[in-house]
Amino acid sequence: MFNSKADGAGARPSRPFVLFALLVGLALAAVQAVYFHQQIQQRQWQTAQADAQGLAREWARDLWNRAQRLEDRLTRLPGEVPVQRALAQAQVSDADWFRDGRLRIVPDIAATDALSFTEQDLLQRLHEGSGRTPLVIGRGGESPALLAGRAVSGGALIIQQDLSPWMRQLDQRLPRGAQVRLIQDDVTLARRGQSTALHGIALHGTNMASGEATQGTFTVRLDMPPPPPPITAWILPGGLGLGLILLALILPRLRQRPEQPEPAVQVSSPKPQRREPAAPKPAAPTVTQPPLPDDVFSGDGLVLKADPELLARLGSAFAALARDKHAPALCLASDDSEGADAVLDALRGGILVEGLKTRDQAPCAEPLWRHGLETGATREGLYAHKHGDRWRLIPVLDGQGLSQDDLDTLRRYSAGTVAASSRRADPEPAPFDTYLRQLRDDIVLARPLRLALHAPALLAPLAHALFDGLGCAVVPAKTADALRRVVTEQNADIGILLDQRGNTLAVVDHQGGEVASDQVLMLLARDLLSRHPGADVLFDVKCSRALPSLIRKQGGRPVLCAADPRHIAAERLRLGAPLAGEWSGRVFCADRWFGFADGFYAAARVLEILSMQESDSATVFAGLATGRGTPLLRLPVPGDQGRALVSALRADGRFPGGRAATVDGLRVEFPDGWGVVRLCPLQSVLEMRFEGRDTAALERVKDLFRDQLRAVSPDLALPF
């Protein structure tokens, strides 16, 4: 006889088999849901791609239409009576005949010194029949402009039209998270928006949509993220995925429970002893580090020792600040000082903890790194260079230095400890060729020059390639001290010396004489104001008073600033000034360039101006006299004592007949001279400089400052 209970048990499928079948079914459904989700994403990306391409075409077409209207104006203008009269004159004349633009009338018989060098180059090509217009020209910190030219009987006409209205339209219509670039000859001339992508990947993991359109000589490229998938696209795959996870957790437990047969006899078993739970381990104490000290946040950078823990904290804090501003990544670079790799490794470790990626450049000059931030996909980064026994880090956000609010936030974020990542990155080469091409395209020498050059080993290849490409005969000087001798022995037109970072410049004239930095700035200001009358020119408190006098005579507005690179760069940006400089040799040029301190570009502009002169460089700079002055005098003092001394000198100093300025320390102007006393907080040093119209005036100014300094601090061992 068959056992009916056994038959029933055999007919019922086992529990593991049922659960396994359910698991397979859910997995198949999840695969289908993921496929459905990807299809939605793909359709959204295709839509965004079409939108990006459409916008790029529309904006490129609009820009091209503006250019064509500019060309049409040029076609009609030669017949105008005022134009014909102007062409008969012996000088270049300007006419503001239309909005946002300027017509420049250049007779054949006129001197072209008043033209920009871009205009001079265009004029030459127009006469040769090779001029290609319209062109888009970059103007550094300003919006770009359209430039069109036409050779006519008796001369040439050049129209320059500001593109600010067109750029404002882009700002208004630019989708969130998108970035548009205006490109000409593979060089980015202008950029709007802040891309929220890294290497073409949007924040929510999909490929960036891109559109590109070329009209004439320029290209408009738009990168924009597709919209995130709608919430409904996540419900099915999310629900199925959650079901799979729960089932995977439950299945092992169910398989461990055997099916219980019906017991024939109840068997008692001893009650297990209850185990007392173990006492929890005491939690490790949380140690919170205070913010980094104030002396880290000074000057144009962040200064600290090569301590991996401090560097990681600073890297993490800067990454958090950059993330607040929607930066997709940070670009890291350094000079070639020993230990630079370890410094960048520590910074990178802190940055990666915050979830930001890094782009690492091989050791390079600071201007090369800054140019990469201006023209590349990443506008944020840190540059490290050795400063005595410490390291100075140059931070940049959205292409600019940090504001005081940014520094305060950075200091607050630096509190705490960081479990730094140890992942290293392979450095990519700096954008050497792009930098050279754009700089060479901007600079035109009227005649070849013979140049003596001293540059550190890291900078020498770039410097030689630049000046060779400009047509100079370059004679290297092995040391800075040898530069003057090389200039005279080799009969060089000029000597150029670049510092370790490449952002400051020193000049030696044709006779081997040292040219003061404020004289170099006077040369640049005079040239710039001939084309931009009324422009602001910024200089620091250590510069000669001959500089503001020249600026006023040339129709500009001199602006006195603190001797602090971060401050002067921020003021230049706030005022929209095309030129700023420091007595230390830094030059910030936003006329045809980007506005950051760049010794290479400043040197090239000096060469460009000198190539237009009939006189040698010694004669040119002799015409920019600065009076009888002292070098920079330095007196070490403890930080608190220095601040107290400067404050007392401001409050109690007596300078009859003088006009005081307190933007940085105390600078007093007299009818026949001036003097300044300021504190350099980075090194706890008092810096002093004096100048007079002649030796007697200089000594009088020095005596007056000496008496007032001893009145507020009798024990000072003054260096003058």
DSSP string across 606-626: HHHHHHT-SS-HHHHHHTS--
Q: If you search the block for the tokens 């009969």, which residue do you land on? A: 491
* Average pLDDT score, the chain: 82
The mean per-residue pLDDT over the stretch 474-492 comes to: 95
Checking if the pLDDT of 265 tops 90, the result is: no
Q: Which of 229-233, 395-399, 471-475 has the highest mean pLDDT?
A: 471-475
**What is the per-residue pLDDT for 251?**
58
Q: Pick 254 or 656 by higher pLDDT.
A: 656
Specify the pLDDT at position 12.
Answer: 52
pLDDT at 250: 64
Per-residue pLDDT, 225: 79
Q: Minimum mean pLDDT among 290-294, 418-422, 484-488, 679-683: which range?
A: 418-422
Over residues 688-713, mean pLDDT: 96
Q: If you write DSSP's letter for every residue of 269-306 in order, what string do you get?
A: -PPPPPPPPPPPPPPPPP--PPPPPGGGEETTEEEE--
The mean pLDDT value for 349-367 works out to 90
Span 67-71, mean pLDDT? 78
Q: Where are the beta strands (DSSP E) in 562-645?
A: 579-581, 587-589, 628-629, 633-636
Q: Which has more pLDDT, 609 or 200?
A: 609
The CATH code of domain 432-622 reads 3.40.120.10
Contact 565, 538 (CB under 8 A): no
Q: pLDDT above 70 covers what percent of the chain?
A: 77
pLDDT category at 201 given cuts 50, 70, 90 is very low
- The CATH number of the structural domain formed by 294-413 is 3.40.120.10
- Label residue 576 left, alpha or beta by phi (over 0 means left) and psi (-120 to 50 means alpha): left
Can you give the pLDDT at residue 20? 65
The side-by-side arrangement of strands in the sheet containing 145-152 is 93-95, 101-107, 155-162, 145-152, 135-137
In the CATH hierarchy, which fold is given to the domain comprising 628-712? TATA-Binding Protein (3.30.310)
Mean pLDDT of 273-296: 52
Whether 309 has a pLDDT exceeding 60, the answer reads: yes
Q: So what's the pLDDT on residue 163?
A: 82
Greater confidence (387 vs 366) lies with 366
Q: Where in the chain is the domain with CATH 3.40.120.10?
A: 294-413, 432-622
Specify the higher pLDDT residue, 117 or 216: 216
Measure the CA–CA gap between 193 and 106, rounded to whole angstroms: 38
Task: Please tell me whether residue 309 adopts helix, strand or coil conformation.
Answer: helix
Q: What pLDDT sits at residue 286? A: 37
The rounded distance, in Å, linking the Cα atoms of 251 and 231 is 30
Pairing mode, if any, of strands 155-162 and 145-152? antiparallel
Q: How far is CA 287 from CA 180, 290, 351, 568, in A?
A: 45, 10, 21, 39
- In the predicted structure, residue 282 carries a pLDDT above the cut 80: no
pLDDT, tens digit, 9 for 90 and up, residues 488-545: 999 999 999 999 999 999 999 999 999 999 999 999 999 999 988 899 999 999 999 9
| Concatenated DSSP letters of 199-265 | TTB-TTSSBPEEEEEEETTEEEEEEEPPPPPPTHHHHHHHHHHHHHHHHHHHHHHHHTSPPPP--SS
Q: What is the mean pLDDT of residues 408-418?
A: 79
Task: Examine the pLDDT at 227 and tell me if it is beyond 90.
Answer: no
Mean pLDDT (whole number) for 186-206: 56
Of the chain, the percentage scoring pLDDT greater than 90 comes to 43
CATH 3.30.310.50 placement within the chain: 628-712
